[in-house]
Amino acid sequence: MLKVVAPLTARQFQRAIIMPNLKPPVRTLQEAAHYRERIMEAIPGDISFTPLMTLYLTDQTTSEEIEASHASGFVKACKLYPAGATTNSAFGVTSMEKVSTALRTMEQVGMVLCIHGESTAPGVDIFDKEAEFVSAVLPKVLTDFPNLKIVLEHVTTMQAVDLVLKTPGNRLAATITAHHLLYSRQAIFEGAKIHPHMFCLPVLKRELHRQALLKAILNDADGKLFAGTDSAPHPESSKICSEGCAGIFTGHAAVELYAEAFEEAGALLKLEAFLSENGAKFYGLDLNDDRLTLRKSPHVGPLKIIVPGSDPIVPLRSGQSIAWTLSSDENS
């Protein structure tokens, strides 16, 4: 799977924050280094790509592990998954109190905290989990750790973007996926059918929340929002089965799909900053020098992405039109 999807990502992005929720998760510097090596081995030699690694934060993560990982230079963040919130999150954080020492260390050394911002409190509706986390959990984290830089990953609600845009300074940012910009929850149930390939976590929300995301990318004056694809490659058999799994694969055409969303929002002039500048500045990275050229020329997405030795991946827009196309011709 890695040998198939890593080159697809590298053809779209020169670097990426690599999430650690594998089986087993990436919890130590040694595991992050090994995963990084496997990614680089999967990238063709003619493509420049830098994986920016993360550690999977657990109740047992030590200050020493964070300090060593930060000193490595290639581990850029820790990812906080509330235990049970999403794919492969069973080892995640059970309470914020249990990671307070780790968060204090991250604050001291300047390591970014990436958060899957969904509540796992009993009785919270699946469509309200992000709003509940944003109102009940995140404000206390911001208060208790005033110098901790936080990325609220793959936000989906008006509550999340409102908090991010209103928080003063450069301490809270958010990523948004292409699929949450393009689709509402209606896509899961279109035509009185269930469409498992449109099921992800955080789940797609009501249209009013999608419109709030589109408005936010247009009105983001301070560069607090940037790309985070949350592109999730699952074999077709894992998506279509008695239990199913969460995840939408966009790695084959993420830039083009973002362009569609930004065009809909009337925000094409902000696309470059969203894709290439805001995230780099938040993480303290130099901007890349190379260019991508987008043409307003439709193409048809692949029906399936073949994975040798496994079932194929069914990507977003399988066999359907994508309005923009990446081009190597800078005169296009």
pLDDT value at residue 201: 96
pLDDT value at residue 327: 83
Per-residue pLDDT reduced to its tens digit, 205-241: 999 999 999 999 999 999 999 999 999 999 999 999 9
- Decide if pLDDT at 329 tops 60: no
Work out the burial of residue 68: count CB atoms within 10 Å of its CB; fewer than 13 is exposed, 13-18 middle, 19 or more buried: middle
pLDDT value at residue 330: 47
Per-residue pLDDT reduced to its tens digit, 49-63: 999 999 999 999 999
Please write down the HEC assignment for all residues of 241-292.
CCCCCCCCCCCCCHHHHHHHHHHHCCCHHHHHHHHHHHHHHHHCCCCCCCCC
Q: Is 230 a catalytic residue?
A: yes
Other Cβ atoms within 10 Å of 311 Cβ, number: 15
Per-residue pLDDT reduced to its tens digit, 239-270: 999 989 999 999 999 999 999 999 999 999 99
Give the pLDDT band (50/70/90) at residue 328: low
Say if pTM beats, i.e. exceeds, 0.95. Answer: yes
Question: Distance (Å, rounded) from C-alpha 149 to C-alpha 111?
Answer: 7
Q: Are residues 56 and 26 in contact, defined by beta-carbon separation less than 8 angstroms?
A: yes
Q: What is the DSSP string of 102-138?
A: HHHHHHHHTPEEEE------TT--GGGHHHHHHHHTH
CA 4 to chain centre: 19
Q: Among 65, 6, 17, which Cα is nearest to 41's?
A: 6
pLDDT value at residue 332: 38
- Decide if pLDDT at 331 tops 60: no
Per-residue pLDDT reduced to its tens digit, 11-45: 999 999 999 999 999 999 999 999 999 999 999 99
Q: For residues 159-179, give the mean pLDDT.
A: 97
For the chain, give the mean pLDDT: 96
30: three-class secondary structure by DSSP: helix
Question: Distance (Å, rounded) from C-alpha 261 to C-alpha 274?
Answer: 12
Question: Distance (Å, rounded) from C-alpha 18 to C-alpha 39?
Answer: 10
Q: What is the rounded radius of gyration, in angstroms, for the C-alpha atoms of the chain?
A: 19
58 CB-side CA count, 13 A: 17
Catalytic residue among 162, 230, 289, 311: 230
Domains, the chain, in order of start with CATH, read: 1-293 (3.20.20.140)
